[in-house]
Amino acid sequence: MKAVEIPEPGAEFEVVERDVPEPDAEEVRVAVEACGICHSDAFVKEGQWPGVDYPRVPGHEVAGRVDAVGEDVTEWEEGDRVGVGWHGGHCFTCDACRRGDFIACENAQVTGFDYDGGYAEYLTAPHEALAKIPDELDAVDAAPLLCAGITTFNSLRNSEARPGDLVAVQGVGGLGHLGIQYAYEAGFETVAVSTSPEKEDLAYELGADHFIDASEVDAGEELQSMGGAKVVLATAPSADAMSSIVSGVGVDGKLLTIAVPGEPLSVDVQPLVTGRRSVGGWPSGTPHASEDTLDFSALRDVTPKVETFSLEEADDAYAAMMDNEVRFRAVLVPE
Ligand SMILES: [Zn+2]
Ligand SMILES: [Zn+2]
């Protein structure tokens, strides 16, 4: 099979021929139909994640079909449409797993980090890492929902925000353009915040009720003039942008970050104390939460805007993603 591997930290991608992997007893082999490129793939590409063995095939936004199942796998069969996201498996025996909190598993595996991911024609994954894909969703549309989608959907649905509350989505990019759609469909008064005024029309098209051009006005002040946000979902990996919008969080509200900037945030603590405001984060979710995301997306017609690339074009696609030139998710499609 064809696969795109990272030979060593910091190296260019290499397209290689490999044997099609055989699933172990508790694994499933997936024939990949589409795999999204996520900003977090940079951790593997640049060697910024501890414990990754190289060469490594990245990719944790995988959509495809079950191609073979290990002898102990009972819940999947050949032909099932499935996805594999960031959460690539758990141990079932650590304290967190025994509480059913699989995303916090002490031995959790990350797809494309701890084992080879979806920049390939096939991958094998533990049976517990799979999510069903509903018929209504194309593989190309489903792929980015397995990381970008679940992270925005799951963070919002687990937040304190309730229908009618003011929710701001900071950044209209790969994560943000999905966050706006989910926020609108969940019944929130939805504010899109961007430093790119040319994204205003798109933000309204995606469901935003308001647009704040943060290159012109102070987004925090603007949100306070609307009453303060219950949740500011920070989707752009910029410490400056996050620090500058904390002031828009309302009483009992939260800056909820799902993007990971390289530098620490600078936050004025007094408003946190006086208004019970908080700053927090959210990981993606379990495979079952991925399934909820995919089902909701099919129900409400939430889809990502994507650009597709072949496996041979992985370098170009990755570079375009890193340079913020992809509108809005890059997806690899094996030929
Ligand atoms: Zn991701
Ligand atoms: Zn565990």
The ligand that comes nearest to the alpha carbon of residue 87 is 1
CATH of domain 159-281: 3.40.50.720
Cβ neighbour number for residue 129 with a 10 Å cutoff: 27
Q: What element of type H or E holds 177?
A: helix 176-185
Residues 6+ apart with CB under 8 A from 201: none
CB 148 within 8 A of CB 86: no
114 alpha carbon to ligand 2 midpoint, in Å? 15
Provide the residue ranges of all domains of the chain, joining segments of one domain with +: 2-149+284-332, 159-281
Q: Is 50 exposed, middle or buried (0-12, 13-18, 19+ CB in 10 A)?
A: exposed
The ligand that comes nearest to the alpha carbon of residue 113 is 1
pLDDT given at position 122 = 98
Number of residues assigned to the chain: 335
Q: How far apart are CA 182 and CA 294, in angstroms?
A: 12
Q: How far apart are CA 232 and CA 259, in angstroms?
A: 12
Q: What is the mean pLDDT of each run of 10 residues along the chain (335 residues)?
A: 97 97 98 96 95 97 98 98 98 97 96 98 98 97 98 97 98 96 98 97 98 97 98 94 95 96 92 96 95 98 98 96 93 95
The ligand that comes nearest to the alpha carbon of residue 108 is 2
100 alpha carbon to ligand 2 midpoint, in Å? 9
Closest by CA position to 243, among listed 266, 273, 212: 266
284 alpha carbon to ligand 1 midpoint, in Å? 8
CATH of domain 2-149+284-332: 3.90.180.10
178 alpha carbon to ligand 2 midpoint, in Å? 30
Protein residues with C-beta less than 5 angstroms from the ion ligand 2: 90-91, 94, 97, 105
- Omega prior to 328 cis, within 30 of 0: yes
The ligand that comes nearest to the alpha carbon of residue 43 is 1
**Residue 213 backbone phi and psi in degrees, to 5:** -90, 100
Closest by CA position to 130, among listed 58, 78, 71: 78
Cα distance from N-terminal residue to C-terminal residue, the chain: 11
Residues 6+ apart with CB under 8 A from 335: 310, 311
pLDDT given at position 262 = 86
Q: State which amino acid sits at residue 46.
A: E
The ligand that comes nearest to the alpha carbon of residue 106 is 2
pLDDT given at position 335 = 86
